[in-house]
Chains A and B, each alone.
Chain A
Amino acid sequence: MIKRLFNFHGGIKPASHKSESADAPIRPAPLPHRLIVPLRQNARASARCIVETGERVLKGQRIGEAEGTLGTAVHAPTSGHVVDIAEHPMAHPSGLDTLCVVIEPDGEEAWIEHAPFDYRSQGRLATLTWLRDCGIVGMGGAAFPSHIKLGSGKGMDTLIINGAECEPWITCDDRLMRERAAGIMAGVRILRELLGARRVLVGVEDNKPEALQSMREAARADTDIEVLSVPTLYPAGGEKQLIRVLTGIEIPHGKLGSEYGVQCFNVGTAHAVHRAIEHGEPLLSRVVTLTGNMAQPANYEVLVGTPIEHLLPLAEPREDTDRYLLGGPMMGFALPDLSVPILKGSNCVIAASPALFPPPQPELACIRCGACARACPADLQPFELYWFSRSRNFGKAQEYHLFDCIECGCCAYVCPSHIPLVDYYRFAKSEIWARERDVKAADQARERFEFRNYRQEREKAEKAARLAAKAAETKAKLAQKPAGADGDAAAQGEAAAEDPKKALIAAALARAKAQKAAVQPRNTDNLSPEKQAEIAEIEARRATADTGTEPSRAASEEKS
């Protein structure tokens, strides 16, 4: 039976450049002198360090413990000594530092004790915890923890396995499917069982016939696993695009596949799951394509934490290489620093030269030709978003679904005016995030300020009440005194002689205090009518404006 495929809107067909590295089998990369293993593996979570400098670690030993809901464990990729625990630049466009465990390999590759995990008898929850502690994350790029995706589990209709690899140049998944299809399929079966999925659809772009062939062979015995050839059209490997192509289901921005009965994993992730369950091995390495302006394009099995500069000589970059891209040319980024380590989601390093990746032509005016809209796989009107972002009309940009943009780059690829459209969207998104943070901060400041006012008023009132009560008490005592003094003993008379005096002083003090507390002018009293009107207006604005958007104002008020 031939399954009907669906198509998504837009998409582009850039030159694939797969042949450069597609025929290079996966080879293990030599051990580097140093491994820099970041405790942070994705943007959302960081592991807690559980080793100390100087400690000897074994291959596969846990060095970072999962923390937070989206946390996963981090392991020593090989045996050696922890020589440092320090901040180090990360493979991220910002090049910002993150805490890393630096390990000097001893070359022994001495494994920590490990054994297969019997997921069938251990139960679902324990299995998910096991995957978390094996550091299993999505290997397609985003490094999203797999146990979270599996967690929503049960009652899933379709499990999608992403072998599309739609970005030009990258061939690591292609090689993995050609060489380790059996392992991938073993992982797929585990994932299917954990999800309780009714069927499995494996999507592979039709420019990888060998991978399709070996995947089909590996899945021959399974009647509920279908390996499907999908048309080569970037970005068919985008998670939502692939789900659309294979099932016809469109998952809106901000929704999870599980809400629609589908869940998607990369082929590399499936393989890692297989290693973790059936061999008890945590995720220590991945396949990385080295290609582009290289004399020996290749695919290497690379330990997580290997500095990229250690890998580059393996593929012999040519003289005119001017920078290196991590990831594909459509969504990757130029590495700000070559000492950054390979992460679990790093799939490809491309040597770029001015000849292969010419500098962009000067940006011209948008002529509203709509080529971007025809190319957009999210059905957006990119040029409208461009106008709105450019004019900082962020509200409008959001109204036109700015956050549905997946930054695939199709619009910029086709733009005849050479406008770096995606940069405008990144700018608008980060501005909106910054504003939301500001609004939040202002809200908090306002709430604090209002509570402080309330507290001060309350304390004032309480104090006044206390003093008034005391004064009344004293008065009452004084009124009683003369009557009681008549028939009393001498001792009492002495006390009484002293008491009225004390009481009088106390009462006077209390009155003065009470008076002072009651009429103490606020710094906003005794002002000219204009000033008071202005203050009233500010108060009104503060009350009506949905929030103070200027944190500085709220903050200054708090100080006053």
Chain B
Amino acid sequence: MIHSPYIRNNASVRSVMLMVLLALLPGVAAYAWKVSPAILLNLAIATATALLAEAAVLALRRRPLAPALGDLSAVVTAWLVALCFPPIVPWWLTVTAVLVAIVAVKHLYGGLGQNPFNPAMVAYCAMIVAFPALMSQWPPAGGLPFEMQLQLILGGVRDVDAITGATALDAMRTGLRAGAGTVEAVRDDSAFGLLGGRGYEWVAAGYLLGGLFLLARKIITWHMPVAFIAALALISGLFWLVNPAQFASPAFHLASGGAMLAAFFIVTDPVSGATTPRGKLIFAAGIGLIAYLIRAFGAFPEGIAFAVLLMNMCVPLVDMKTQPAVFGHKKGVSR
């Protein structure tokens, strides 16, 4: 027997995921236009792999296929994996990464809603640890002929050191580590644009636009993006104020790497993130802080993925300790 309420609004997981995909489009467009159209091929490979893997696991688990495939959550995971990888990684790397995300991180934990870790971020970490070289070959924005990009993806000869450059974050890190350079000197590198990486900063702007759309549609709340951006800006600003020669500005940190993608699309993953208002602030701020520390002092140029996983581990504790006061139990409200 069906019980009250007998009416529902028309929200669905599918529409939520569709909104997220829509919101990613400005970033994807900027990516294809300013950096590398090959990203579209990567997105296609990732999407196909994700849907096939999802279907296969569902069949193995004897679950109905249609609802889970139709909810588009696998497509969102696939897109996030593809978007945080270099656009010229060979196809099998993308396939492996998506398999890790869908099969291991999502379904081995019980499927949608059950995974304690962000699938795309686990995939990223697994791949950067397993294939550090492939994962750090970023093409200079618009600097690689499309044919060559396709060849690289589809398994051509990889003599890429000559053609790929370092990302802005990478250049900054190695430049500063070398000891001789200052921020100003390093920034003369061709990898840099106005604020962040040349070309890539437009992609970041696209993500920001999409993120504002998600906020406007109330798919995400303000807590996570604001806390993440504020924490990253605050800590990078602190170091920058103390020693502007050796530490990049907050604007650079926010505009480069995956900061904007993370702020609106990765940190905000509801399944693996904190859920209470205060918990969301702590969770996202923690990611911002850890990501900066890894960028500035760690072994990897980009630390967001590791930061996300570290904070994923804290979620149960954070949620438990930040339960909001319920009606009638708030301080200073009822007499």
Contacts and interface: CB of A to CB of B under 8 A. Distances in A.
Interface stretch (B109-117, B148-156, B158-166, B302-310): B109-117
A251 interface: yes
B335 A422 contact: no
Contacts of A352: 6
Which 10 A-B pairs rank lowest in CB-CB distance, beginning with the nearest?
A: A252-B328, A409-B5, A365-B113, A416-B11, A250-B334, A378-B327, A329-B6, A250-B328, A369-B270, A379-B326
Contact of B8 (A334, A360, A379, A407): A360
Given A367-B13, A404-B327, A426-B3, A383 B8 contact: no
B314 to A, nearest CB: 15
A297 B328 CA distance: 39
Given A93-B3, A252-B328, A334-B1, A418 B9 contact: no
B4 A255 contact: no
A169 to B, nearest CB: 10
7 contacts: A12-B9, A252-B329, A330-B4, A330-B6, A357-B6, A409-B5, A422-B4
A364 B5 contact: no
Contacts of B329: 252, 401, 404
Given A252-B327, A368-B271, A14 B7 contact: yes
**Candidate in A93, A333, A369, A383 with the most chain B CB atoms within 10 angstroms:** A369
Interface string B209-241: 000000000000100000000000000000000
Contacts of B270: 367-370
A413 B335 contact: no
A347 interface: no
A412 interface: yes
A487 interface: no
A253 to B, nearest CB: 6
Contacts of A368: 113, 270-271, 273, 275
B276 interface: yes
A361 B11 CA distance: 11
A168 B7 contact: yes
A334 B325 CA distance: 34
Contact of B327 (A168, A250, A414): A250
A365 B2 contact: no
Given A168-B7, A367-B271, A368-B275, A360 B2 contact: yes
A332 interface: yes
Given A9-B327, A250-B330, A381-B275, A418 B113 contact: no
B323 interface: yes
Nearest to A10: B327
Contacts of B5: 329-331, 409, 412-413, 422
Interface string A381-408: 1011000000000000000110010010
Chain A contact residues, majority secondary structure: loop
B142 to A, nearest CB: 37
B335 A260 contact: yes
Contacts of B323: 381, 400
Contacts of B334: 249-252, 260
Contacts of B327: 8-9, 240, 244, 250, 252-253, 377-380, 404
A369 B16 contact: yes
A249 B113 contact: no
A254 to B, nearest CB: 9
A418 B8 contact: yes
A371 interface: yes
Contacts of A365: 111-114
Given A249-B334, A365-B114, A368-B113, A409 B4 contact: yes
B34 to A, nearest CB: 32
A373 interface: yes
A240 B328 CA distance: 9
B9 A404 contact: no
Contacts of B271: 367-368
Q: How large is the interface on A (under 10, 10 to 19, 20 to 34, 35 or more residues)?
A: 35 or more
B7 A329 contact: yes
A362 interface: yes
Interface in B6-34: 6-9, 11-13, 15-16
A331 B4 CA distance: 5
B8 to A, nearest CB: 6
Nearest to B327: A378
A467 interface: no
B275 to A, nearest CB: 5
Interface of A: 8-9, 12, 14-15, 93, 168, 240, 244, 248-253, 255, 260, 325, 327, 329-334, 352, 357, 359-362, 364-371, 373-374, 377-381, 383-384, 400-401, 404, 407, 409, 412-418, 420, 422-423, 426
A316 to B, nearest CB: 21
A365 B273 CA distance: 16
B326 A14 contact: no
Given A250-B333, A413-B7, 11 more contacts: A244-B327, A249-B334, A329-B4, A357-B7, A362-B67, A367-B73, A378-B326, A381-B323, A401-B326, A413-B5, A423-B3
Given A251-B334, A381-B324, A333 B7 contact: no
Given A359-B2, A364-B67, A381-B275, A330 B324 contact: no
B71 interface: yes
Contact of A416 (B15, B221, B276): B15
Nearest to A332: B4
A384 B3 CA distance: 20
Nearest to A327: B4
A248 B328 CA distance: 11
Contacts of A334: 1-3, 6
B17 to A, nearest CB: 9
A417 to B, nearest CB: 6
Among B7, B113, B325, the most chain A Cβ lie within 10 Å of the Cβ of B7
Contacts of A255: 328
B71 A364 contact: yes
Contact of B328 (A251, A400, A409, A420): A251
Contacts of B9: 12, 14, 413-414
A15 B2 CA distance: 20
A345 to B, nearest CB: 15
Nearest to A378: B327
Nearest to B14: A416
A352 B2 CA distance: 13
A373 B275 contact: yes
Interface in B176-227: 221
A261 to B, nearest CB: 8
B111 to A, nearest CB: 6
Contact of B275 (A251, A327, A383, A418): A383
Interface in B94-137: 111-114
B16 A416 contact: yes
B241 to A, nearest CB: 36
Interface string B246-280: 00000000000000000000000011010110000
A421 B11 CA distance: 15
Given A334-B2, A367-B271, A378-B327, A412 B8 contact: yes
B13 A417 contact: yes
A415 B319 CA distance: 20
Contacts of B3: 93, 333-334, 420, 422-423, 426
Nearest to A380: B326
Contacts of A168: 7
A107 B332 CA distance: 58
A367 B4 contact: no
Contacts of A360: 2, 8
Contacts of A240: 327-328
Contacts of A415: 8, 11
A540 B7 CA distance: 53
A367 B275 contact: no
